[in-house]
Chains A and B, each alone.
Chain A
Amino acid sequence: MLFRAELRKLLPYRTVWILLVLYAVLLAGFVGMSGGAVINGKPMGSSLYAFPGVWSRLAYVASYFNLLLGILLIILITDEFQFRTFRQQVLDGLSRAELIQGKLGIAAGLAVYATLVVLGIGLFFGLTRGPEAAPGAVTAELGAVALYAVQALGYLSLAALLAFALRKSGLAILAFMLYGWVAEPLVRSQVPDSLDRFFPGKLLSALTPTPGQELLDTVTGPSGALLPTQALPVALAYVAFFWLLSYLLLRRDL
């Protein structure tokens, strides 16, 4: 019932389709164009799309597009405050916990969508533009995509928390961008490295490390980020924490 109601709100909403298509088109366009990039006089070409490395490269690139998904979720949540439909749904019999569950369902759905898009793009470019894959190479590093799914859910959970806290779309979107780009880096610069790596933004980005990070580390020194497998349980704990906090915030007057 709950999720069917959510779908009835989503499917006819043009903004949802625009942002979902934008996510897929921009990501595919970026990936498609980067094949033509030239580094040290050599075109990147097909090596970029080679299995299994394409998955971790793609997961890293896709992490920059989480912003679009976050904005979409913020719009969907703040709409409910603006249209006073959260209020109406509580009048009509839903509990606040059910309102949260509905949006958690949407966040999970968006993370699944993003994962499917990444899988689709990876398969398409890997199979059509990459060198011939060795047996088993296509599925060898799919774990990177699974980590990306958790990362997307993590960013979406943060976006949801800001939307539930601020209740206004413009404000929440601004806070979402400022948090990642300004606020967290600023605070992180003031704390020791041992703590720094546990901040949500840094921790979530550790799930999709920069391709060739090991090589970079030898040049610039270690980045201090956790390994993806170390970051995974903490990221899931953040997801749970953000939704719990969202629930507590929703207990205010509607």
Chain B
Amino acid sequence: MVLELDHLSKRYGGTEALRDLTLHVPAGSVYGLLGPNGSGKTTTLGIALGVLNPSGGTVRWFGQALSAGSKRRVGALLETPNFYPYLSARQNLQVAAEVKRADARRIDEVLETVGLLGRQHDAFQSFSLGMKQRLALASTLLGQPEVLVLDEPTNGLDPQGIAEVRTLVQRLAAEGKTIILASHLLDEIEKVCTHVAVLQRGQLRAAGPVRDILTSADRVVLRPGPATTPAALTQALARLPWVSDVQAEADGCLSAVLTSEQHPAALNEALFSQGIILAGLELRHRSLETQFLALTS
């Protein structure tokens, strides 16, 4: 495991920002932290990286307690790009390189990667939000970290910038880096992550490989044949213990969830043996969005 968070909690006065959060990030994963604004994503990462003090719980990086050494193996962008406004992009990265003890010769390379080499001598305060965000990404890459922690990395970027960040994340993941990505944008998580944890009001709602979280929520949509009434179909489904959550859909269709061992073909067979003939049977992959809304509603 790259990062192990165990039983983290955080209180701000009377507010409980984080409640008994346990999360393990495997090496090589692209781990998405998903949740609405204020759900505790930044608090979780702030505690993981030592800028916030937990009210309870433990943090371990690479199997050890958080230290300067472990932090230098991690590149982190938390919430906002944090730089000196009066310094240029290059000067800011020079400061960051000193702090990270990174090779200053990497500065050109990372500026090139995020497309800011041409603006390197301009003051940070003259940058647009998107450029600031890209400079922050450049800074995280300076020390050639094994792990990247990116909190809302596409904040303020235009569609092209978002696509570029996505490509960058995918490229870094392909290089074997572990990436922890916090976002409230489902699309972003769904497109790049291998794992996801869903947070709501400081509590973990679900965590695991994206595939598991999504397939557990796949639904089959059943269209009854002309000789079958929806009521008869509902009754037949009720007799099958591995079918749950039967819901009416548009056009007289029904949808239901199967346990993970069962396939649509088995459902078709079981219904046919009860004299029910279907006009259509379709497996509908649930989007992360629907799953997310289901988890957090």
Contact = CB atoms under 8 A, between A and B. Distances in A.
Contact of B80 (A2, A9, A84): A84
A124 interface: no
A252 B78 CA distance: 17
B72 A87 contact: no
Interface string A69-106: 00000000001000111011111111100000000000
A253 B78 contact: no
Interface residues of B, number: 28
Interface string B34-67: 0000000000001001111100000000000000
A80 B100 CA distance: 17
Given A8-B91, A84-B80, A254-B51, A93 B86 contact: no
A4 interface: yes
A217 B228 CA distance: 112
A179 B101 CA distance: 39
A13 interface: yes
Contacts of A12: 86-87, 91
B83 A83 contact: yes
A251 interface: yes
A5 interface: yes
A42 interface: no
Nearest to A3: B98
Given A8-B98, A83-B85, A92 B76 contact: yes
A91 B95 contact: no
Interface in A196-254: 251-254
B293 interface: no
A5 B76 contact: no
A4 B83 contact: no
Contacts of B46: 253
B53 to A, nearest CB: 6
B96 interface: yes
Contacts of A253: 46, 51-53
B94 interface: yes
A89 B99 contact: yes
A4 B49 CA distance: 24
Given A87-B78, A88-B82, A93-B101, 15 more contacts: A8-B95, A9-B95, A12-B86, A12-B91, A13-B84, A85-B82, A85-B83, A85-B84, A87-B51, A88-B78, A88-B83, A88-B96, A89-B99, A251-B53, A253-B52
Q: List the 9 shortest-distance A-B pairs measured between CB atoms, nearest first.
A: A5-B98, A88-B82, A84-B82, A93-B71, A93-B72, A91-B76, A254-B51, A92-B99, A253-B52
Interface of B: 46, 49-53, 68, 71-72, 76, 78, 80, 82-87, 91, 94-96, 98-101, 139, 143
Interface of A: 1-2, 4-5, 8-9, 12-14, 79, 83-85, 87-95, 251-254
